[in-house]
């Protein structure tokens, strides 16, 4: 490391310059920072909420419940605060497979050492799994803000106030904020509420950073999302993606042709399913589905990573992986 890149840890100004690069306002004395867990049952819009709060797609989404399988940190930094959102899998009643147990553990463990919880519910679909989440929150001493998502879909807007009153009677929420994550409605108000509950502290991450997850992880999630969106109800849940190769190639001159080559990242990925029929679904007729998945995933990666991507996909059968503890660990669960 060069000497001029070192940060003087005894110099507050130097530390602040590191977290707030040149061109940004210096941090105020009452700057707030904290971890914010986003929890709820499957399919209430937790990932969509985080993506729209960040102003950038980071966590994958689809209409299918349990799309999110891992905890993902999304970092929102502005002049007043740095909120490190923890997007979690939907908490649901345990099924027989090991992967469901691991997803629930990942979601519940996100409640450790956070400063605030956003409990997300659907405005018109209160279910038993919502009560399950509420019970787990009741076993903590955490500050909880209720976020009533999809408020724009209520046919009778007059039902919103009684709904808020009902929720208020069920739990001692610090605040209740109705929003539409998909349509960016009332998210400014939600950010104000979040900031009001975070402690005064210096940023944890560089203010230009949006996640602590690696590009390899994000690439695998993007591929999985494209399969789920492309195949619709046909796609099996017993599907996962493993990145086998991730190689950055700098801009250079091709030694054979003498032509300049742009910088590019070469990504090799394997899509694992559990049965032969599932493999056929993912590949599609004459390979058209997997080809489209690759094209769509590459475009999203280039947008997110800001560089050219060359993507190669394989589909393989790995029988019973979703209920195999060893396989789950090797696949990053």
Q: Which residues contribute to the annotated binding site?
A: 40-47, 87-91, 149-152
Q: Are the C-beta atoms of 293 and 70 separated by less than 8 Å?
A: no
Count Cβ atoms within 10 A of the Cβ of residue 127 and give its class: 0-12 exposed, 13-18 middle, 19 or more buried: middle
Residue whose C-alpha is closest to residue 83's, from 44, 31, 119 = 31
Helices 276-283 and 288-305, interaxial angle, to 10°?
A: 70
CA–chain centroid gap for 56, Å, is 11
Q: Are the C-beta atoms of 2 and 50 separated by less than 8 Å?
A: no
SS3 of 26-71: the string is CCCCCCEEEEEEEECCCCCCHHHHHHHHHCCCCCCCCCCCCCCCCC
Residue set of the binding site for GTP: 40-47, 87-91, 149-152
**Residue 313: beta bridge partners?**
269
Q: Are the C-beta atoms of 64 and 179 separated by less than 8 Å?
A: no
**Residue 4: beta bridge partners?**
none
Q: What is the DSSP string of 282-315?
A: HH-GGGHHHHHHHHHHHHHHHHHHSSEEEEEEEE
Phi, psi of 199 (to 5 degrees): -75, 155
Place of tokens 């203010």: 207
In the sheet with 116-122, reading across from the earlier edge strand, the strands are 72-77, 81-87, 32-39, 116-122, 144-149, 175-178
Residue whose C-alpha is closest to residue 147's, from 85, 97, 95 = 85
Place of tokens 């280039």: 302
């Amino acid at each position: 490391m060069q000497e001029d890149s070192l940060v003087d840890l005894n110099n507050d100004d130097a530390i602040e310059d590191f977290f707030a690069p040149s061109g940004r306002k210096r941090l105020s004395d009452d700057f707030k920072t904290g971890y914010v867990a986003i929890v709820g049952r499957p399919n209430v819009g937790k990932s969509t909420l985080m993506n729209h709060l960040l102003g950038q797609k980071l966590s994958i989404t689809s209409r299918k419940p349990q799309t999110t399988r891992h905890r993902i940190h999304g970092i929102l930094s502005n002049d007043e605060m740095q909120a490190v959102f923890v997007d979690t899998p939907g908490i649901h009643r345990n099924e027989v497979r090991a992967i469901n147990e691991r997803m629930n553990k990942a979601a519940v463990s996100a409640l450790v050492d956070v400063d605030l919880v956003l409990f997300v519910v659907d405005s018109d679909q209160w279910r038993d799994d919502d009560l399950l989440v509420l019970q787990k929150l009741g076993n903590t001493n955490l500050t909880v803000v209720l976020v009533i998502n999809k408020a724009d879909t209520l046919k009778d807007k007059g039902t919103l106030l009684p709904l808020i009153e009902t929720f208020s009677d069920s739990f001692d929420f610090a605040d209740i904020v109705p929003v539409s994550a998909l349509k960016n409605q009332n998210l400014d108000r939600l950010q104000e509420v979040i900031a009001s509950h975070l402690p005064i502290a210096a940023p944890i991450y560089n203010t230009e950073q949006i996640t602590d997850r690696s590009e390899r992880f994000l690439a695998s999630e993007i591929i999985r999302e494209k399969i789920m969106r492309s195949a619709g109800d046909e796609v099996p849940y017993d599907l996962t993606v493993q990145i086998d190769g991730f190689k950055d190639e700098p801009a250079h001159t091709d030694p054979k042709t003498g032509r300049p080559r742009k910088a590019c990242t070469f990504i090799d990925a394997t899509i694992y399913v559990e049965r032969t029929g599932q493999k056929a679904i993912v590949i599609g007729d004459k390979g058209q589905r997997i080809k489209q998945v690759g094209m769509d995933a590459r475009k999203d990666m280039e947008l997110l990573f800001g560089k050219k991507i060359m993507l190669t996909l394989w589909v393989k059968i790995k029988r019973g992986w979703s209920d195999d503890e060893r396989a789950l660990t090797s696949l990053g669960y």
